[in-house]
C-alpha cells in the first residue's frame, strides 16, 4: 500500500512557527489536557466556524493550533506554534487559503511526543483512499508497540506523536479492509484514549474510543453540522446540541445529517472525571452532564464531608469558583471575593527561584484587604497537584491578616499518573504522594485541609462509578497501559486521607 505523507510544509502551505511561549508558572501547577478537536461540514466556508470553535476551546491546548480544509480535490492545512489567535489572524489571511465547506481543527498540549512543530495537528497523509487529515484528543497507550509493528511493515513516520500512529493505523486498516472492517480492526488494536475528527477527502468523520474517555459532541447549525470536544464550541457558533458521539461510535457527518456507521462495544465506560473537576469549561455539557452543576455539587459535598466553622468562603480564582459557591450554599457561610486575579498576566515566565515564584504569584493574584483581615477563611480550589501554588496563596492570605485559613479541595488527592491524555506523568509530581492529610496540610501551610471523597466525587458528577475513569485518584485504570509505563502503575502507593 502506498502511503505518502503530505504535511502542510510539504504541500507548500503557509506555516507560522511562532516562538514557543513559556508555560505560565501559576497555571502551570495545574494539569493540562491534551487537545481540542473540531469538525465542520455545511453550505458555508468551514474556516470561520472552525476558527471560532478553536478559540473557544483554547483552554484545552495552548502549544499549537491547526486547521485543514478540503477544497478542489485536495486538503489544505495550516498549523503553527502558539495560541489560536497567534497562528490564525488577519495578517495571515488564512481564509484565502483554507477554502472549502468541510474541515477539521486542532489545538494541542503535548502529553505524548515532543513539543515540536512537526507534532502539531491536524495530521495529514495520502494513501489509496485519497487525502486524509486527522485531529486527536487523548493518548494512545500502546503507540510505541504499534509504531514498531507498522515500521516493520514498511510504513514510515515523520513525527514522535502517538496521533501519527493512530492515523497510520486507521489509514492502513481502512484502505485494506474498508471503512467498517478497518475501523473495527483499528479500534481493536488501539489502546487508550481517542476522540477524533477526520477527513477522508470531502467526507467528515468523528469517533470516540470504546471507553469514552475524552468528550466529543455534535451540534446542528442553520448551515450544517459542527462536532467539537465541548459543547461551548457549539454555543459560540449558534449550534444546538444534537448528541454526544457515543463511546466506540464512528459517525459520518454530512450536510444532510449524522450517520452512525458502527459502534465498537467496550467492556465498560470510563469518562474522565477530571473533565468535570477542572479541564472542561463550566458552560459545557458533556455526556448529558453540565460541568458547572457537577462543580457546584462537588462544593456542596465538600461542605457536608469537611465542615469547619469560619467567617467566609473564598475561591482560588478562577479554578475553584463553582466549588466555592457550592460550599457556601451548603454551609450557609457567606461567599466573597478575597483574591483577585490579574487577567492580563496570563503568560508569565517560569520562575527559577523561590523569590521569583512568589513575585509571580503576586503578579497574578492580590487580596482584597477588607475581606481578608481578621477573618477565618475557607479557601476552595478544584484540585491540588504539586501544592506549591496553594502554599503561596495561603501565605498571601496570612500576610494580609487572615486569622485562619482552611483549605478545601473539590477532588480527592491526586496520587497516580494519567496515561490518557493529561499532563500528569509521574507520581513524584504530586504533593499527596507518600504524605497523609496532616503532612499535606503542613506543606501548604493551612490550618486545616479537606478533600472531597471518591464517593462524593462520583455522586457529584451524577454518573455511576462504573462510568468514570478515576485512575489518577485511585490508581485503578480502565485500560491497560503500555509495558514501559506499567511499572509506574504497579509502584503506586495507596493513600487514604
Ligand atoms: S487518569 Fe485521571 S485525568 Fe487521566 S483520564 Fe483518568 S480521571 Fe482523567
Closest Cα to atom 8 of ligand 1: 272
Number of Cβ atoms within 10 Å of the Cβ of 426: 9
Q: Is residue 103 part of a domain?
A: yes
* Lowest mean per-residue pLDDT among 112-116, 247-251, 485-489: 485-489
- Among 195, 470, 481, 488, say which to mutate for ligand 1: greatest number of ligand atoms within 8 Å of CB: 470
Which triple of cell numbers denotes residue 358? 512568589
The pLDDT of residue 362 is 72
> Does 128 share its domain with 263?
yes
**Closest ligand 1 atom number to CA of residue 473:** 2
> Does 236 share its domain with 335?
no
Is the confidence at residue 489, as pLDDT, over 70?
no
Q: Is residue 70 part of a domain?
A: yes
**Closest ligand 1 atom number to CA of residue 419:** 4
Is the confidence at residue 491, as pLDDT, over 50?
no
The pLDDT of residue 354 is 53
Q: Is residue 497 part of a domain?
A: no
Taking a C-beta distance cutoff of 8 angstroms, is the pair 34, 137 a contact? yes
Is the confidence at residue 131, as pLDDT, over 50?
yes
- Could you tell me the pLDDT band of residue 353, with boundaries at 50, 70 and 90? low
In the reported structure, the alpha carbon of residue 33 is separated from the centroid of ligand 1 by a whole-number distance in angstroms of 10
The pLDDT of residue 342 is 85
Gap between the Cα atoms of 132 and 192, Å rounded:
22
Q: Is residue 332 part of a domain?
A: yes
Residues in contact with ligand 1 (CB, 6 Å cut-off): 213, 272-274, 418, 420, 422, 469-472
- For residue 287, the 8-state DSSP code is T
**Closest ligand 1 atom number to CA of residue 471:** 1
> Does 14 share its domain with 155?
yes
- CATH number of the structural domain spanning residue 418: 3.40.50.2020
Burial 381-394 (b: 16+ CB within 10 A, else e): bbbbbbbbbbbbbb
The pLDDT of residue 495 is 32
Distance of CA 425 to the CA centre of its chain: 14
Give pLDDT tens digits for 11-59: 333 333 333 333 333 344 565 556 999 999 999 999 999 999 999 999 9
Taking a C-beta distance cutoff of 8 angstroms, is the pair 415, 495 a contact? yes
Q: Is residue 71 part of a domain?
A: yes
The pLDDT of residue 386 is 87
**Closest ligand 1 atom number to CA of residue 275:** 8
> Does 240 share its domain with 297?
no
Q: Is residue 117 part of a domain?
A: yes
Give pLDDT tens digits for 250-288: 999 999 999 999 999 988 999 999 999 999 999 999 999
The residue with greater pLDDT, 359 or 338, is 338
- State the average pLDDT over residues 355-384: 87
> Does 262 share its domain with 298?
no
In this prediction the pTM is: 0.89
The pLDDT of residue 226 is 98
> Does 199 share its domain with 321?
no
Residue with cell 503500555: 482
Taking a C-beta distance cutoff of 8 angstroms, is the pair 193, 139 a contact? yes
- CATH number of the structural domain spanning residue 140: 3.60.20.10
- 451, β-bridge pairs: 409
Gap between the Cα atoms of 67 and 45, Å rounded:
13
Gap between the Cα atoms of 59 and 57, Å rounded:
5
Is the confidence at residue 368, as pLDDT, over 70?
yes
Gap between the Cα atoms of 117 and 31, Å rounded:
22
> Does 225 share its domain with 319?
no
> Does 38 share its domain with 152?
yes
Is the confidence at residue 482, as pLDDT, over 80?
no
Is the confidence at residue 488, as pLDDT, over 70?
no
Gap between the Cα atoms of 163 and 185, Å rounded:
17
Q: Which of 298, 296, 291, 247 is nearest to 271 (CA)?
A: 247
Q: Which of 235, 267, 299 is the last residue of a domain?
A: 267
> Does 77 share its domain with 201?
yes
What is the percentage of the chain residues whose pLDDT exceeds 70? 85
Q: Which of 205, 215, 207, 209 is nearest to 193 (CA)?
A: 209
- State the average pLDDT over residues 300-308: 98
In the reported structure, the alpha carbon of residue 416 is separated from the centroid of ligand 1 by a whole-number distance in angstroms of 9
Could you tell me which residues come within 8 angstroms of residue 255 by beta carbon, excluding any fewer than 6 positions away? Answer: 41, 42, 43, 224, 225
Q: Is residue 50 part of a domain?
A: yes
**Residue 469 falls in the annotated catalytic set:** no
Which triple of cell numbers denotes residue 158? 515523520
> Does 382 share its domain with 486?
yes
Coil, helix or strand at residue 200 = strand
In the reported structure, the alpha carbon of residue 211 is separated from the centroid of ligand 1 by a whole-number distance in angstroms of 12
Q: Is residue 200 part of a domain?
A: yes
Residue 468 burial (C-beta neighbours within 10 Å; 0-12, 13-18, 19+): buried
> Does 103 share its domain with 158?
yes
- Could you tell me the pLDDT band of residue 111, with boundaries at 50, 70 and 90? low
**Closest ligand 1 atom number to CA of residue 468:** 7
Give the number of domains in the chain. 2
In the reported structure, the alpha carbon of residue 192 is separated from the centroid of ligand 1 by a whole-number distance in angstroms of 11
In the reported structure, the alpha carbon of residue 414 is separated from the centroid of ligand 1 by a whole-number distance in angstroms of 10
Q: State the residue range of the domain holding 88.
A: 4-267
- For residue 203, the 8-state DSSP code is E
- Could you tell me the pLDDT band of residue 486, with boundaries at 50, 70 and 90? very low
In the reported structure, the alpha carbon of residue 140 is separated from the centroid of ligand 1 by a whole-number distance in angstroms of 13
Packed helices 354-364 and 388-399: angle between N→C axes, nearest 10 degrees: 70
- Could you tell me the pLDDT band of residue 129, with boundaries at 50, 70 and 90? very high
Choose, from 35, 272, 441, 472, the residue flagged as catalytic: 35
* Average pLDDT for the chain: 87
> Does 261 share its domain with 297?
no
Amino acid at each position: 500500500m502506498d502511503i505518502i505523507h503530505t504535511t502542510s510544509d510539504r504541500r507548500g502551505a503557509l506555516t507560522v512557527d511562532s516562538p514557543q511561549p513559556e508555560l505560565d508558572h501559576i497555571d502551570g501547577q495545574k494539569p493540562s489536557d491534551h487537545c481540542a478537536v473540531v469538525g465542520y461540514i455545511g453550505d458555508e466556508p468551514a474556516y470561520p466556524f472552525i476558527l471560532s470553535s478553536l478559540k473557544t476551546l483554547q483552554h484545552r491546548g495552548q502549544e499549537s493550533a491547526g486547521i485543514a480544509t478540503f477544497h478542489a480535490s485536495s486538503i489544505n492545512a495550516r498549523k503553527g506554534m502558539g495560541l489560536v489567535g497567534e497562528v490564525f489572524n488577519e495578517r495571515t489571511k488564512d481564509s484565502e487559503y483554507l477554502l472549502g465547506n468541510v474541515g477539521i481543527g486542532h489545538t494541542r498540549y503535548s502529553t505524548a511526543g515532543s513539543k515540536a512543530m512537526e507534532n502539531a495537528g491536524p495530521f495529514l497523509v495520502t494513501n489509496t483512499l485519497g487525502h486524509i487529515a486527522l485531529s486527536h484528543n487523548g493518548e494512545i497507550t500502546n503507540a510505541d508497540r504499534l509504531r514498531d509493528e507498522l515500521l516493520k511493515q514498511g510504513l514510515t513516520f515523520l513525527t514522535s506523536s502517538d496521533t501519527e500512529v493512530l492515523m497510520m493505523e486507521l489509514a492502513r486498516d481502512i484502505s485494506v479492509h474498508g471503512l467498517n472492517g478497518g475501523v473495527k480492526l483499528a479500534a481493536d488494536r488501539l489502546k487508550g484514549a481517542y476522540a477524533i475528527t477526520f477527513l477522508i477527502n470531502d467526507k467528515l468523520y468523528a469517533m470516540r474510543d470504546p471507553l469514552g474517555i475524552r468528550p466529543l459532541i455534535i451540534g446542528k447549525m442553520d448551515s450544517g453540522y459542527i462536532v467539537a470536544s465541548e459543547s461551548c464550541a457549539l454555543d459560540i457558533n449558534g449550534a444546538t446540541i444534537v448528541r454526544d458521539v457515543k463511546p466506540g461510535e464512528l459517525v459520518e457527518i454530512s450536510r444532510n445529517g449524522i450517520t452512525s456507521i458502527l459502534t465498537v462495544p467496550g467492556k465498560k465506560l470510563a469518562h474522565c472525571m477530571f473533565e468535570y473537576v477542572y479541564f472542561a469549561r463550566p458552560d459545557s455539557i458533556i455526556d448529558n452532564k453540565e460541568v458547572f452543576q457537577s462543580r457546584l455539587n462537588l462544593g456542596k459535598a465538600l461542605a457536608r464531608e469537611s465542615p469547619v466553622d469560619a467567617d467566609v468562603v473564598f475561591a482560588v480564582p478562577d479554578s475553584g469558583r463553582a466549588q466555592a459557591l457550592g460550599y457556601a450554599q451548603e454551609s450557609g457561610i457567606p461567599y466573597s471575593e478575597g483574591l483577585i486575579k490579574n487577567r492580563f498576566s496570563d503568560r508569565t515566565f517560569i520562575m527559577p527561584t523561590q523569590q521569583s515564584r512568589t513575585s509571580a504569584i503576586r503578579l497574578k493574584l492580590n487580596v482584597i484587604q477588607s475581606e481578608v483581615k481578621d477573618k477565618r477563611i475557607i479557601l476552595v480550589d478544584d484540585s491540588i497537584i504539586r501544592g506549591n501554588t496553594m502554599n503561596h496563596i495561603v501565605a498571601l492570605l496570612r500576610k494580609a491578616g487572615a486569622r485562619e485559613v482552611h483549605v478545601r479541595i473539590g477532588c480527592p488527592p491526586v496520587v497516580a499518573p494519567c496515561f490518557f491524555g493529561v499532563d500528569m506523568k509521574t507520581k513524584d509530581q504530586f504533593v499527596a504522594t507518600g504524605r497523609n492529610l496532616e503532612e499535606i496540610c503542613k506543606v501548604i501551610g493551612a490550618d486545616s485541609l479537606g478533600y472531597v471523597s471518591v464517593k462524593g466525587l462520583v455522586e457529584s458528577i451524577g454518573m455511576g462509578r462504573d462510568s468514570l475513569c478515576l485512575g489518577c485518584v485511585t490508581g485503578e485504570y480502565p485500560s491497560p497501559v503500555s509495558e514501559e509505563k506499567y511499572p509506574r502503575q504497579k509502584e503506586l502507593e495507596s493513600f487514604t486521607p
